């Protein structure tokens, strides 16, 4: 649940600003590689997380440049970031570690037990609270939410909505960097493509959670529960593995349909 939750929590901000960031997958992967690479040489977890955040923010800066300076299409630019991230991680792995495969870090006490997970969950709880306050209790959150459907109102007040859209994308990069670092540090290794669709799942979680921080937490937990169940069920039932592995995605699809029906009835 942890990387999905962080990616989805960050993805709420651009989604509310009318700039859905579909580059979450690539941001997670960049964070995973950067954190493992820095931890490999320094053995410092905090430096590794910081490196993951910086790498993710750098990709977000490129994404912002393409969107607002080069006038690129939002979805094409996001897809380009995903593809670029996947390729550059392998290239850098080949140059730095002389391998295009798995890169492992030396053993550390941080991997013992669930200490790393507890730290990430604690940090996630703090950022969840901060996000709720920032989105619903501050002028920034009010203006950010107005960027989607009431941007003309902001312009009439002398407020530039592009500023809030840019910061929203950077915020999503910040959270994806943290989520990506958990992927590799928790495993103690970097595996090419280890984000494994979690960024795309996070996009679904954003809308399943109705673009609200608490809703995102609940949706991420439900999906993670379904994924854990599918992993557990592989050794229990005589069912083809492909069907069992598809269970979380079927649950996601069913949940999206249910939410859509619920929202339609409210209207």
Q: Which of 146, 157, 161, 207 is nearest to 11 (CA)?
A: 207
As given in the structure block, the two tokens for residue 151 are 């941007």
pLDDT at position 109 is: 53
Q: Residue 232 phi/psi, 5° resolution?
A: -70, -35
pLDDT in tens, the chain (267 residues): 899 999 999 999 999 998 889 999 999 999 999 999 999 888 888 999 999 999 999 999 999 999 999 999 999 999 999 999 999 999 999 898 888 888 887 765 555 556 788 889 999 999 999 999 999 999 998 889 888 877 777 878 888 888 999 999 999 999 999 999 999 988 888 888 888 888 888 998 898 888 889 989 988 888 888 777 776 766 666 666 666 667 667 777 777 777 677 767 765
Q: Give the domain range for residue 117.
A: 2-196
Residues 100 and 91: their CA atoms lie apart, in Å, by 7
pLDDT at position 100 is: 86
152 lies in some domain = yes
pLDDT at position 87 is: 92
147 lies in some domain = yes
244 lies in some domain = no
The helix (H) or strand (E) run that includes residue 181 is helix 161-187
The total number of structural domains in the chain stands at 1
Residues 211 and 16: their CA atoms lie apart, in Å, by 7
225 lies in some domain = no
Reduce the DSSP state of residue 108 to 3 states and report it: coil
184 lies in some domain = yes
217-222 long-range contacts (CB < 8 A, ≥24 apart) are 217/5, 217/9, 217/128, 219/8, 219/255, 220/1, 220/4, 220/5, 220/8, 221/1, 221/5, 222/251, 222/255
165 lies in some domain = yes
228 lies in some domain = no
pLDDT at position 226 is: 77
42 lies in some domain = yes
């Amino acid at each position: 649940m942890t990387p999905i939750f962080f990616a989805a929590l960050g993805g709420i901000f651009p989604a509310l600003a009318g700039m859905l960031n579909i580059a979450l997958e690539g941001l997670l992967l960049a964070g995973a590689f950067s954190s493992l690479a820095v931890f490999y040489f320094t053995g410092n977890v905090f430096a590794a997380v910081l490196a993951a955040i910086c790498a993710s923010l750098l990709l977000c800066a490129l994404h912002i440049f393409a969107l607002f300076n080069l006038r690129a299409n939002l979805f094409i630019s996001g897809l380009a970031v995903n593809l670029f991230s996947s390729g550059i991680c392998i290239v850098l792995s080949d140059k730095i570690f002389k391998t295009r495969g798995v890169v492992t870090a030396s053993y550390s006490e941080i991997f013992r037990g669930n200490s790393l997970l507890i730290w990430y969950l604690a940090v996630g709880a703090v950022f969840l609270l901060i996000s709720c306050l920032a989105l619903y209790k501050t002028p920034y959150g009010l203006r950010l939410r107005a960027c989607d459907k009431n941007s003309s109102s902001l312009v009439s007040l002398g407020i530039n909505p592009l500023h809030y859209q840019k910061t929203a994308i950077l915020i999503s990069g910040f959270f994806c960097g943290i989520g990506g670092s958990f992927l590799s540090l928790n495993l103690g290794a970097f595996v090419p493509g280890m984000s494994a669709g979690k960024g795309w799942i996070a996009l679904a979680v954003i809308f399943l959670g109705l673009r609200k921080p608490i809703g995102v937490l609940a949706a991420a937990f439900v999906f993670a529960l379904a994924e854990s169940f599918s992993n557990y069920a592989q050794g229990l039932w005589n069912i083809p593995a492909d069907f069992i592995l598809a269970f979380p995605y079927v649950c996601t699809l069913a949940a999206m349909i249910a939410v859509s029906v619920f929202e339609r009835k409210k209207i």
